[in-house]
A = this chain, B = another copy of it.
Amino acid sequence: MTDPLVIFTPSGKRGRFPVGTPVLTAARQLGVDLDSVCGGRGICSKCQITPSFGEFPKHGVAVAENALSDWNKVEQRYDDKRGLKPGRRLGCQATIQSDVVIDVPPESQMHRQVVRKAATERAIEMDPATRLYLVEVAEPDMHDPSGDLQRLQDALRESWGIETVDVPLPVLARLQPTLRKGKWQVTVAIHQAHTGPARLIDIWPGYHEGPLYGLAVDLGSTTIAGHLCDLSTGEVLASSGIMNPQIRFGEDLMSRVSYAMMNPGGDAEMTRTVREALCDLAEEIASEAGIAPQGIVETVFVCNPVMHHLLLGLDPVELGQAPFALATSDSLSLPASDLGLAPLHPQAQVYILPCIAGHVGADCAAVALSEAPNEAEPLTLVIDVGTNAEILLGNRERVLACSSPTGPAFEGAQISSGQRAAPGAIERIEIDPTTKEPRFRVIGSELWSDEEGFDLATAVTGVTGICGSGIIEAVAEMRSAGLLDPSGLIGSADQTGTSRCEPDGRTHAYLIHDGSADGGPRITVTQGDIRAIQLAKSALYAGARLLMDEFGVDTVDRVVLAGAFGAHISARHAMVLGMIPDAPLDAVSSAGNAAGTGARIALLNRASRARIERLVRDFTKVETAIEPRFQEHFIAANALPHATDPFPELAKVVTLPQVSFNTGGGESGPGARRRRRRKG
Contacts and interface: CB of A to CB of B under 8 A. Distances in A.
A147 B327 contact: yes
A173 interface: yes
A325 B145 CA distance: 7
Contact of A147 (B149, B329, B338, B626): B329
B143 A623 contact: yes
Contacts of A242: none
A334 interface: yes
Contacts of A327: 147-149, 172-173, 175-176
A172 B338 CA distance: 13
Nearest to A144: B621
B140 A325 contact: yes
A314 interface: yes
Given A142-B324, A324-B142, A326-B147, A318 B176 contact: yes
B338 A169 contact: yes
A147 B325 contact: yes
A625 B177 contact: no
Contacts of A149: 327-330
A511 to B, nearest CB: 45
Contact of A358 (B145, B169, B324): B145
B313 A169 contact: yes
Contact of A169 (B144, B170, B175, B334): B334
A391 B547 CA distance: 73
A338 B171 CA distance: 13
A315 B150 contact: no
Contacts of A400: none
Contacts of A334: 169
Nearest to A621: B145
Nearest to A617: B146
A419 B134 CA distance: 53
A409 interface: no
Contacts of A144: 621
A329 B150 contact: yes
B148 A325 contact: yes
A140 B626 CA distance: 14
A196 B166 CA distance: 11
A360 to B, nearest CB: 8
Interface in A341-358: 355-358
A167 interface: yes
B623 A177 contact: no
Q: Which of the listed residues A141, A176, A324 has the most CB atoms from chain B within 10 Å of its own CB? A: A176
A51 to B, nearest CB: 44
Contact of A142 (B145, B146, B329, B623): B623
A323 interface: yes
Interface in A304-336: 312-315, 317-318, 322-330, 334
A147 B324 contact: no
Contacts of A324: 140, 142, 145
Interface in A551-609: none
A538 to B, nearest CB: 21
B329 A146 contact: yes
Nearest to A196: B197
B338 A625 contact: no
Given A314-B172, A318-B176, A334-B169, A323 B148 contact: no
Contacts of A140: 323-325, 358
Q: Which of the listed residues A143, A144, A355 has the most CB atoms from chain B within 10 Å of its own CB? A: A143
A470 B69 CA distance: 77
Contacts of A358: 140, 142, 145
Interface string A190-203: 00000011000000
Closest 8 A/B residue pairs (Cβ): A147-B329, A145-B357, A140-B325, A149-B328, A147-B328, A147-B326, A142-B623, A140-B323
26 contacts: A139-B323, A142-B323, A142-B626, A143-B623, A144-B621, A145-B323, A145-B356, A145-B623, A146-B326, A147-B325, A147-B326, A147-B330, A147-B355, A148-B318, A148-B325, A148-B327, A149-B329, A149-B330, A169-B314, A170-B313, A172-B312, A172-B328, A173-B312, A173-B314, A175-B327, A176-B318
Given A150-B328, A172-B312, 7 more contacts: A142-B625, A145-B329, A148-B318, A169-B312, A172-B327, A172-B328, A196-B197
